[in-house]
A and B are shown apart, each in its own frame.
Chain A
Amino acid sequence: MTTQTFEYQPGSALHDQDDPLHGELMQLEMGPQHPATHGVLRLSMKLDGETMRGVEPVVGYLHRGKEKTCESLGWAKFFPHTDRLDYVQPLMNNVGYALALEKLAGLAVPERGEIIRVLLMEVSRIAAHLIYLGTTAIDLGAVSMFFATFKERENIYTILDAYTGHRMNNTYVRIGGVFADVDEKVEDLLREFLARMPAEIDSWESMLSGNRIWYDRNRNVGVLTKEQALGLALTGPNLRGAGVEHDLRKVQPYSGYERYDFDIPVGTIGDCYDRYLVRVEEMRQSVRIATQALALLKETRGGEFLAEDRRYVLPPKDKVHTSMEELIFQFKIVTDLRLPAGQCYHGIESSKGELGFFVVSDGTSKPVRCHIRSPGLMNVQAIPPLAEGRLFSDMVALIGSLDFVMGEVDR
């Protein structure tokens, strides 16, 4: 008996003429409650045998009208809602939104506030990539990876709990800085965590990178060329996996990213395996940045972490109780926070790609528009061109490697 080898070539389908189902198209709905679609995504596809002949993602099952909510709530009260966008990295969304508002207000963040933000963003990036790694691996059969990565995510939750008082949905960033300083206990927890991470990442890589099943199911699957990735408006690891060296932290630095020393990993072919390698390397670089941020935090101990601008930033609580003026400021900011009229866009490098907030103000306390440029939606959009003509089982690898969170896709 001869064994048939399946050598996948990008774009060419394995078309089994002997498949009894070949010839007629079968309509298959994958999701919205399918565990491998990573949330409430429905994929409406036509199958010829096992070959996908037409895929249409159906999104919107988690649509909560966040942009409309921002218009009714006002600028400051929308912060908790940004947490619920990409709920695996709430602090990153907070910072992205705060940066857009600060740009509109023309407000500068104190140095220590920026360092804390960078630290939180990089820890969030690690947490988000851990979700990617764990869920993609369990979908492709590597169950133990899921437990390994979720063990580390649990540690991140513990650290964030110690710092913010919440495990998820932290809402700890404010206009002008962060809500509270990082104390020494949290610093120690972080230092211990960051010291352990490189060895952990190495051990995960040794479990996956050379694994025959992992390699075969990811290599040459979902190949993105540079032009295709740019045309599909992809950003972040998906674009870098296609070989484009574009990272907003490097090319358009914000929050003082220019002070940190880190590298941008890029892929060569642009397949699922390259995107996996890029994300694993990004975790290492995040550890590097976070370690540098911790050192800077030590240098700036005792410094201001929240700007003192009483037009936008709440006064400290003890002063509110003792001073009439501060009480008035508190009242004005909570009930009627006004940002200058104008349009403003700020994009940050989130774990999924460019997360941008396009905010429009008319000078009153009611926002005119708050558009969330969601990288996840663009990642979902890239599914059909990559899936068509491939075998159905490749879909699971593809969904995992494009990496999206439906909370952000549907908003």
Chain B
Amino acid sequence: MGNAQTLERARAALGTLEHSVRDERDGLATLALSTATLGQALEALKTRAGFETPTLITAIDWLGTREPRFDVVHQLLSLAHNDRLRLVTPVAEDQRVPTATHLWPGAAYMERECYDMFGLVFEGHAGLKRLLMPEEYGWHPLRKDFPHQGIEPDRIYREWDRKRRAEWHPEEAR
């Protein structure tokens, strides 16, 4: 996996799109982008640089360390060239991230998980809803300000139970 060659190919595909190269500990080719350029960059990387499949889409919460708070991480894999590319996009809490679902349908669950866990909204994602947590859950658990022991873990289950009882045994309802 020639790191320099990967970067060269990716940067050639990006052309005039604004980006910068990052040096990461695992030596994986990494580019830093912005939310404005990410959508075009993903498309260019798929069509012109031969990154056929996404490996992961996730986020990192840097609360209290820096602004903007989140990093959205896309990691792409090229089978033809046998290399990986990581894209890091800083995102503020109220900013929207362009979706990758029109390029890879497989990105849908990754982005849903990201929305579920961090509350990041992906622009253009059809059917963006929670993946692992229940739809009624009011928090985003992987944010750093979410406590490890959870917030009222039983609340929604109690509410479900109350609703069900009211429906099935209306005579018991006060």
On A, residues with C-beta under 8 Å from B are 59-60, 63, 65, 67-69, 71-72, 103-104, 230-234, 244, 246, 251-252, 340-347, 354, 356, 358, 360, 362, 368-369, 371, 373, 377-378, 380-381, 385, 410-411
16 example contacts (A-B, Cβ-Cβ < 8 A) are as follows A63-B133, A65-B150, A68-B141, A69-B148, A231-B104, A252-B1, A343-B24, A343-B25, A345-B26, A345-B55, A345-B84, A347-B55, A356-B56, A368-B60, A377-B113, A380-B109
Closest 6 CB pairs of A and B: A342-B25, A233-B106, A60-B132, A232-B106, A344-B26, A72-B148
User: Judging by beta carbons under 8 Å apart, are A59 and B131 in contact?
Assistant: yes
Interface centre among B82, B104, B131 (most CB of A within 10 A): B131
Interface centre among A244, A246, A345, A346 (most CB of B within 10 A): A345
Which single residue of chain B is at the shortest CB-CB distance from A251?
Answer: B82
Minimum C-beta distance from A384 to chain B (A)? 10
Given contacts A252-B1, A344-B25, A373-B56, contact A60 B134 (CB under 8 A): yes
**How does the 8 Å CB contact mask read for B62-99 relative to A, with 1 for contact and 0 for none?**
10010000000101000100101010000000000000
User: Judging by beta carbons under 8 Å apart, are B60 and A104 in contact?
Assistant: no
Which single residue of chain B is at the shortest CB-CB distance from A245?
Answer: B79
On B, residues with C-beta under 8 Å from A are 1, 24-26, 28, 30, 52-56, 58, 60-62, 65, 73, 75, 79, 82, 84, 86, 104-110, 113, 117, 130-134, 141-142, 146, 148, 150
User: Judging by beta carbons under 8 Å apart, are B56 and A246 in contact?
Assistant: no
Chain B residues in 8 Å Cβ range of A60: 130-134
Which single residue of chain B is at the shortest CB-CB distance from A65?
Answer: B141
A contacts with B: majority SS: mixed
- A369–B88 Cα distance when bound, in Å, is 14
**Complex partner residue of B65 from A362, A371, A380, CB under 8 angstroms:** A362
Chain B residues in 8 Å Cβ range of A342: 24-26
User: Judging by beta carbons under 8 Å apart, are A381 and B75 in contact?
Assistant: no
- A341–B65 Cα distance when bound, in Å, is 14
Minimum C-beta distance from A81 to chain B (A)? 13
Which single residue of chain B is at the shortest CB-CB distance from A229?
Answer: B53
Chain A residues in 8 Å Cβ range of B54: 233
User: Judging by beta carbons under 8 Å apart, are B133 and A234 in contact?
Assistant: no
Minimum C-beta distance from B71 to chain A (A)? 9
User: Judging by beta carbons under 8 Å apart, are B132 and A104 in contact?
Assistant: no
Interface centre among B60, B108, B109, B142 (most CB of A within 10 A): B109
User: Judging by beta carbons under 8 Å apart, are A104 and B26 in contact?
Assistant: yes
**Complex partner residue of B106 from A341, A356, A378, CB under 8 angstroms:** A378
- A341–B25 Cα distance when bound, in Å, is 8
User: Judging by beta carbons under 8 Å apart, are A68 and B148 in contact?
Assistant: yes
Which single residue of chain B is at the shortest CB-CB distance from A346?
Answer: B26
Chain A residues in 8 Å Cβ range of B146: 68
Chain A residues in 8 Å Cβ range of B53: 230-231, 233
- A250–B25 Cα distance when bound, in Å, is 23
